[in-house]
């Protein structure tokens, strides 16, 4: 069975080569991102393997179906970049890796909080420069602060567990509250109440039509002055222009991003010799209280090995049995 692996980086090649074993699967590693311009590279393959910034919209689904591709194997949890309905209409099966390491992402979110608060990124450069002054590095105790978690699925739950070590008051918003979290002291409140009371807000819900630009001017207007916002979920959860306005006015005191709404043209590439054309992204980088990482929250040895192993198992299972527990059906995605 031949699979075209789009958006291949060195870590993808290493992890998948280790995971292949005697699966009988043959991988073609391709560097380009999958989109309408590159979809022809999928010719001669039964499946494509894609990541977060590959574009699997209706046109790409149609082109793949015409080429005889039968399976889309996402090597990530989110499936917002795939037209699931169109895939079902064209008979393409979609599988994903629902959990490869919720710890990796939750720990990164916590890392962003600590780094922003104590300004590790600035302190590191200062000390290297022989500047041992502390002015401008004043932080706050995370202990006792109120942290709001939007989305208490696998990652949100692990994140809540990490925060308990800091004795934080934890508020949460999710359409499906977890009884286990409630028993551990997490208080489920409305989104408005979470915005109103939280010192730190961390996003762990998926990107859907409902959560697109969840953090907009209106939401920011209901937050505490100086709030810290962390997004390790998906870029479009945040309206970038609204957070720029919030940062300029001081309503937002800190912003930690591992994802960005237009990251597809930036992240995972070395653009250090190029002029960045995205003025909004460049503006975000000018704020001293903004810390951006390039979608690396998932990037641990454990997670990358899990991603590769689960992807290979998903494809094998679907081919051998005709079904796969990690399939993203229209029903699973939209409940209809
Ligand atoms: P999950 O499916 O286990 O949990 C998501 C939770 O969000 C669920 O409890 C769901 O009920 C809730 N939810 C859905 N819609 C909501 C809404 N409108 N408001 C509030 N809550 C809502 O997913 P997970 O494994 O915890 O992952 C969460 C997200 O993290 C993924 O969707 C993905 O976008 C992102 N992610 C990012 C990285 C990274 O490297 N930065 C890695 C993995 C996952």
CATH number of the domain encompassing residue 140: 3.40.50.720
Our mutation pick for probing the ligand 1 site, out of 172, 181, 205, 326, counting the most ligand atoms within 8 A of Cβ, is 205
Distance 238 CA to ligand 1 centre (A): 14
Is residue 37 domain-shared with residue 155, that is, in the same domain?
Answer: no
pLDDT, one tens digit per residue, over 51-72 is: 999 999 999 999 999 999 999 9
Q: Which domain holds residue 6?
A: 2-100+301-334
Q: Which residue puts its alpha carbon closest to atom 4 of ligand 1? A: 153
Our mutation pick for probing the ligand 1 site, out of 153, 190, 231, counting the most ligand atoms within 8 A of Cβ, is 153
Mean pLDDT, rounded, of the chain: 97
Q: Is 121 a catalytic residue?
A: no
Q: Is 234 a catalytic residue?
A: yes
Is residue 141 domain-shared with residue 283, that is, in the same domain?
Answer: yes
pLDDT band for 138, please (50, 70, 90 cuts): very high
pLDDT at position 332 is: 86
pLDDT, one tens digit per residue, over 205-228 is: 999 999 999 999 999 999 999 999
Q: Which residue puts its alpha carbon closest to atom 18 of ligand 1? A: 211
Is residue 136 domain-shared with residue 251, that is, in the same domain?
Answer: yes
Q: Is 180 a catalytic residue?
A: no
Is residue 139 domain-shared with residue 284, that is, in the same domain?
Answer: yes
Is residue 214 domain-shared with residue 82, that is, in the same domain?
Answer: no
Is residue 34 domain-shared with residue 123, that is, in the same domain?
Answer: no
Which residue out of 295, 301, 302, 331 is catalytically annotated? 295
Residue recorded with tokens 């090995």 = 305
Atom of ligand 1 nearest to the CA of 98: 25
Ligand 1 pocket member 12 (CB < 6 A) = no
336 pLDDT higher than 60: no
Distance 66 CA to ligand 1 centre (A): 32
Is residue 134 domain-shared with residue 210, that is, in the same domain?
Answer: yes
Which residue out of 75, 234, 261, 309 is catalytically annotated? 234
Our mutation pick for probing the ligand 1 site, out of 9, 109, 204, counting the most ligand atoms within 8 A of Cβ, is 204
Atom of ligand 1 nearest to the CA of 297: 40
Distance 79 CA to ligand 1 centre (A): 11
Is residue 124 domain-shared with residue 19, that is, in the same domain?
Answer: no
Distance 139 CA to ligand 1 centre (A): 29
pLDDT, one tens digit per residue, over 247-282 is: 999 999 999 999 999 999 999 999 999 999 999 999
Rounded to an integer, what distance in angstroms lies between the CA atom of residue 292 and that of residue 244? Answer: 14
Is residue 81 domain-shared with residue 107, that is, in the same domain?
Answer: no
Is residue 151 domain-shared with residue 8, that is, in the same domain?
Answer: no
Three-state helix/strand/coil letters over the chain: CEEEECCCCHHHHHHHHHHHCCCCCEEEECCCCCCCCCHHHHCCCCEEEECCCCCECHHHHHHHHHHCCCEEEECCCCCCCECHHHHHHCCCEEECCCCCCHHHHHHHHHHHHHHHHHCHHHHHHHHHCCCCCCCCCCCCCCCCCEEEEECCCHHHHHHHHHHHCCCCEEEEECCCCCHHHHHCCCEECCHHHHHHHCCEEEECCCCCCCCCCCECHHHHHCCCCCEEEEECCCHHHECHHHHHHHHHHCCEEEEEECCCCCHHHCCCCCCCCCCCCCHHHHHHHCCCCEEECCCCCCCCHHHHHHHHHHHHHHHHHHHHHCCCCCECCHHHHHCC
pLDDT at position 334 is: 84
78 pLDDT higher than 80: yes
Ligand 1 pocket member 209 (CB < 6 A) = no
Ligand 1 pocket member 233 (CB < 6 A) = yes
User: What is the average pLDDT across 189-197?
Assistant: 98
Is residue 134 domain-shared with residue 228, that is, in the same domain?
Answer: yes
Residue 290 dihedral angles phi and psi, to the nearest 5°: -120, 130
Report the number of distinct structural domains present in the chain: 2
Is residue 232 domain-shared with residue 106, that is, in the same domain?
Answer: yes
Distance 207 CA to ligand 1 centre (A): 8
User: What is the average pLDDT across 140-158?
Assistant: 98
Burial (CB count within 10 angstroms: exposed 0-12, middle 13-18, buried 19+), residue 54: buried
User: What is the average pLDDT across 134-160?
Assistant: 98
């Amino acid at each position: 069975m031949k699979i075209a692996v789009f958006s291949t980086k060195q870590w993808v090649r290493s992890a998948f080569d280790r995971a292949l074993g005697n699966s009988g699967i043959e991988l073609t590693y391709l560097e380009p991102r999958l989109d309408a311009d590159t979809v022809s590279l999928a010719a001669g393959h039964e499946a494509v393997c894609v990541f977060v910034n590959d574009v699997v919209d209706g046109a790409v689904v149609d082109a793949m179906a015409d080429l005889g591709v039968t399976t889309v194997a996402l090597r990530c949890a989110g499936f917002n970049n795939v037209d699931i309905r169109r895939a079902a209409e064209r008979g393409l099966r979609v599988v994903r890796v629902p959990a490869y390491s919720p710890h990796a992402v939750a720990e990164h979110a916590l890392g962003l909080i600590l780094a922003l608060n104590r300004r590790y990124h600035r302190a590191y450069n200062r000390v290297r420069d022989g500047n041992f002054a502390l002015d401008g590095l004043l932080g706050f105790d995370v202990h006792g602060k109120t942290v709001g978690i939007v989305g208490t699925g696998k990652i949100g739950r692990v994140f809540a567990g990490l925060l308990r070590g800091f004795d934080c008051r934890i508020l949460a918003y999710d359409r499906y509250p977890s009884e286990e979290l409630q028993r551990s002291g997490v208080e489920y409140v409305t989104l408005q109440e979470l915005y109103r009371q939280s010192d730190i807000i961390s996003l762990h819900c998926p990107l859907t039509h409902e959560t697109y630009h969840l953090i907009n001017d209106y939401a920011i207007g209901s937050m505490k002055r100086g709030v810290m916002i962390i997004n390790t979920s998906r870029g479009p959860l945040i309206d970038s222009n609204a957070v720029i306005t919030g940062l300029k006015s001081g309503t937002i005191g800190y912003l930690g991003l591992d994802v960005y709404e237009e990251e597809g043209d930036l992240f995972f590439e070395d653009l250090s010799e190029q002029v960045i054309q995205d003025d909004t992204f460049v503006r975000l980088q000018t704020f001293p209280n903004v810390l951006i990482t390039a979608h690396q929250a998932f990037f641990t040895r454990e997670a990358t090995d899990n991603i590769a192993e689960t992807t290979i198992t998903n494809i094998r299972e679907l081919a051998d049995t005709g079904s796969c527990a990690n399939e993203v059906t229209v029903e699973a995605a939209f409940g209809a």
